[in-house]
Amino acid sequence: MTEEKARFFKALGDRTRLTIVGCLLKHDHCACDFSEIAGKDQTTISRHLKILLEAGILRYEKDGRYVIYSIKDEMMKETLEKCGIEKVDSCCPGSVMDADTKKHVVKKKYGKIALGMVQGCGCCDDLSGEEIAGSIGYSNEDISSFSDANLGLGCGNPTSLGGIHEGEVVLDLGSGAGFDSFLAARKVGKTGKVIGVDMTAEMLAKARENAEKYEFDNVEFRQGDIEELPVESSSVDVVMSNCVINLAPDKSRVFREAHRVLKENGRMYLSDIVLLKDLTPEERSDEKLICACVGGALLKEDYLRIIREAGFTIRIIDADKDISKRQYSGYPLESLKLELRKK
C-alpha cells in the first residue's frame, strides 16, 4: 500500500501530468490532444501518460484509430479532487482564457458582424469586404454574385483549391453568411448538396435569408459546433473551411470530426491562419486578437501535426505570408491553403 501511495504522489509531482489529469477531470480526451494542451511533443506526452497509467490514475480504451484516456473511476476522481487537483479547460497552451469563454467571445463578436453592428472581425483595418475577398482569391464575378453573403471574414478561397464536382455533398465549417456555401452549391448543382454549420444564431439567420434571396434549394444551414458536428459519419464527399478552425479551442477535435464525417477517400480544402512565431500569454487572451483569427492560432508545425494525427495526408497548396502585412498588422503568421485526404 505504501508503494502504491508513493507511485500516486510521484505521478502527480509534475506540472505536465497535473495538466493532463486536470483536463481529464473535465472530460475524456484522445491521446493526440495532449500535445496541444500541454505544449509538449508526442513522445514526452506518451511517457507522462504511461506514468499516470502505472500509478493507477488513468485508464484508456481504443475507439477505432484513436486512444481515449479518462480518469480510472469515480473513486479516483473524488480522490484527485480532494487532493486539490483543479479541472483544466483544454484550450491552447499558454492561454489564460478558458475554452468556454473563448467561444462566448467569438459568438458575441460574430453575432454583431452578422447584424451589421460592426464591420469585419477586426483584422483588416479599413479594407472593405470586396477588397479583402479580391485579395484572397475570389473573382469579381464571385463577389458580385453573392455580395450580401460576403462579409470579408476569410483568408483564402477554399472553393478554388480543388475540384468540387456535380452531385457531391459538401460540408462548410463555420459557414457564416453563406458565401463559400453558395459558391460550392453552384459547383455541385441540383443533384448535389451543401451543408453549412455555424454556431452563431445571427449568422445562421443571415445565411438562410441569403439562401432564399439567391434561390438555392440545395443548401442547408445547421446550428452546431465544428468540434461536435451535427452531421452523420461517412456522409460527405468534401469538407471545406475558410479561416474558422483557428477560432476553435480544440482544433484536434475539429479535424477528427472532419475525418469522421467524410466518406472513404474524402477530401478537405481549407484556408487558415497559422503562426510562424508564438504569441505571449497576454496576446493569446486578447479578445480582439482571438476574434481576428490571431489569438487562437497554432504554430504552423503544431497545426500540421494534429492534422496528420487525425488521419489525413496533407498537400500544401500555398502559404500566403504577405497576408500578414495586408490584413494582420505584421503579426508573424501566414495563411495556409491545404488539401487533405482521408486515409
C-alpha–C-alpha distance, residues 178 and 172, integer Å: 9
Give 234-265 pLDDT, tens digit per residue.
Answer: 999 999 999 999 999 999 999 999 999 999 99
Q: What number of CA atoms fall less than 13 Å from residue 55's CA on the CB side?
A: 22
Q: Which of 139, 140, 135 is nearest to 152 (CA)?
A: 135
184-194 tens-digit pLDDT: 999 999 999 99
Residue 341 sits at φ, ψ, to 5 deg, of -120, 130
Model confidence at 15, in pLDDT bands (50, 70, 90)?
Answer: confident
The closest alpha carbon to 331, from 263, 276, 253, 259, belongs to 276
pLDDT grade, residue 63 (50/70/90)? low
For residue 95, pLDDT beyond 70: no
In sequence order, the 6+-apart residues with CB closer than 8 A to the CB of 129 are: 119, 120, 150, 151, 152
pLDDT digits 0-9 by tens, 162-183: 889 999 999 999 999 999 999 9
In this structure, of 106-110, 114-118, 119-123, 124-128, the range with the lowest mean pLDDT score is 124-128
Residue percentage of the chain with pLDDT more than 90: 57
Asked which of 217-221, 278-282, 298-302 is least confident by mean pLDDT, the reply is: 278-282
Close Cβ partners of 248 (under 8 Å, ≥ 6 residues apart): 226, 227, 254, 296
pTM of structure? 0.73
Looking at the chain, the whole-number percentage of residues with pLDDT higher than 70 is 93
Mean pLDDT score of the chain, rounded to an integer? 89
Residue 96 confidence (pLDDT) above 60: no
